[in-house]
A and B are shown apart, each in its own frame.
Chain A
């Protein structure tokens, strides 16, 4: 068995698992080994209590501040916006638009910026490793405007082919939409370089940061991106929360994409005028409690420190890759030099779903399938992978259990081979 030697510990143990109550519950009478963090992370007490506390102490609708409680709720909500601003180092709090998640953030840009700006023949450049949520909104936009979707390929290691990316950039490229970190492979794209090259041809850049923000420090000004989208629930925050960062002058020029309360300045039956960003893009009562929870999640990870989290997770990913990659008959999919938190693999003779079921019986939660990245699976000629995705509360014991469970699956299928 590939026990991980205690001498090979990560640089620093974070000792945070105790902050996450769900990790103490058994699943299928086993210790829960939660390795599906790429789908959603578990929530610390700080987040659970922040949402609960909001409903117990502060609940009212926001931006209708005639009474004390409404003003109080509004203050908390706007403080959350400043928390997000600080978290990604946006220049101003008004550059932070709250959404339901990454998907809605990308759809917002495609619908508002895209439909106002694009004409037939304009080009949108994405990559083969995008999640469906960074493909389909652009396809819909292309259908509506006659714009053309271009796709930059990836290598066998799952790294973007930079020469091909450059060759696809041109005078008609208006938008480059790229994942910061691939959800299916863990590849970290060289986004700063890609942004520089896109800007050189006058294109804007949207970065899908769904799989990045929980695993490394993100500074939107240092990156120089035009839009940055992420979800709260992959960042230890509540589901149904998300963020679109947009540079102020871009947001100011964008039309509303959903109409309703809170996004208007004046309404008459002849003509309505719209609020300034970010309210222009936040029609209707938002997920107030969730947003308060998101701010609590950000406070929580910042107290631990993104650099510490990144260092710890890199160490753990290296160990996991070594231990899992060492299993005969197992092939790691996605071997980029720069990776974060995600280990995708296929096992000879065992379909990912069978593997997922057997691992589940050992208390090990992984994702099996195409990870909402069907074009990428096609690129690798596989129907899907098994994916273990790490978070800061995972440890060497989790990896050891994962390895044992894979061995068990191979024993059951009669495919285990000696090393």
Chain B
């Protein structure tokens, strides 16, 4: 297997395909406390993130939208990762995850989110993996402008 194929398989791991085919928490939420939109017009990726927050804890998270496998899987994995976490921890995770893909990876356990580190070798695709996260951030801080990462 060449390096190239290796990089490609790092990018498209089975977990990514799984979450692309069957995204988790993929539905709108009527009783959401926070909603935010994200879109990358050049790509055509569009998504909406919904959050329920009680006593400073994200009790539920979901999303709808469409995009490439990386963007869909990242959104799906994100909703799983943030459920049950205090808002401050979610914000910290957003910052750390961003650094994981674009900067010096922080020393922490990212769990399943590690599968998204393959985009480090594909700078043009980082924006796909981070769109849902910037949308999540906007939902948390109450920014009503659609998030963009391109």
Q: How far is the CA of A374 from the CA of B125 in the complex (A)?
A: 21
User: Interface with B: A14-22, A50-58, A189-197, A351-359, which one?
Assistant: A351-359
Q: What chain A residues lie within 8 Å of B8 (beta carbons)?
A: 357-358, 361, 412
Indicate if B5 sits at the interface (CB-CB under 8 A). Answer: yes
Q: What is the distance, in angstroms, from A115's C-beta to the closest C-beta of chain B?
A: 28
User: Interface with A: B65-73, B89-97, B98-106, B138-146, which one?
Assistant: B65-73
**Taking CB as reference atom, which chain A residue is nearest B67?**
A351
Q: What is the distance, in angstroms, from B4's C-beta to the closest C-beta of chain A?
A: 5
Q: Is the CB of B43 within 8 A of A384?
A: yes
Indicate if A305 sits at the interface (CB-CB under 8 A). Answer: no
**Taking CB as reference atom, which chain B residue is nearest A382?**
B44
Q: Total number of A-B contacts with CB less than 8 angstroms?
A: 51
Indicate if B7 sits at the interface (CB-CB under 8 A). Answer: yes
Q: Is the CB of A357 within 8 A of B4?
A: no
Given known pairs A357-B122, A369-B43, A369-B44, the reply for A383 and B66 (CB within 8 Å) is: yes
Interface size class of B (residues with CB under 8 A): 20 to 34
| Residue interface mask A2-19, B partner, CB < 8 A = 1 | 000000000000000000
Indicate if B26 sits at the interface (CB-CB under 8 A). Answer: no
Indicate if A25 sits at the interface (CB-CB under 8 A). Answer: no
Q: How far is the CA of A370 from the CA of B45 in the complex (A)?
A: 11
Q: What chain A residues lie within 8 Å of B7 (beta carbons)?
A: 361
Q: Which of B11, B42, B68 contacts A351 (CB 8 A)?
A: B68
Q: What chain B residues lie within 8 Å of A377 (beta carbons)?
A: 44
**Taking CB as reference atom, which chain A residue is nearest B42?**
A369
Q: How far is the CA of A29 from the CA of B42 in the complex (A)?
A: 28
Q: What is the distance, in angstroms, from A408's C-beta to the closest C-beta of chain B?
A: 9
Q: What chain A residues lie within 8 Å of B110 (beta carbons)?
A: none
Q: Is the CB of B44 within 8 A of A28?
A: no
| 11 A-B pairs whose Cβ atoms sit less than 8 Å apart in the complex | A29-B2, A29-B3, A350-B69, A351-B67, A353-B128, A354-B69, A357-B122, A357-B124, A361-B4, A369-B43, A412-B8
Q: Which residues of B are interface residues toward A (Cβ below 8 A)?
A: 2-5, 7-8, 11-12, 17, 21, 41-46, 66-70, 122, 124-125, 128
Other A-B pairs beyond A369-B43, A412-B12, 9, CB < 8 Å: A30-B4, A349-B21, A350-B69, A351-B69, A353-B70, A357-B125, A361-B7, A361-B8, A383-B43
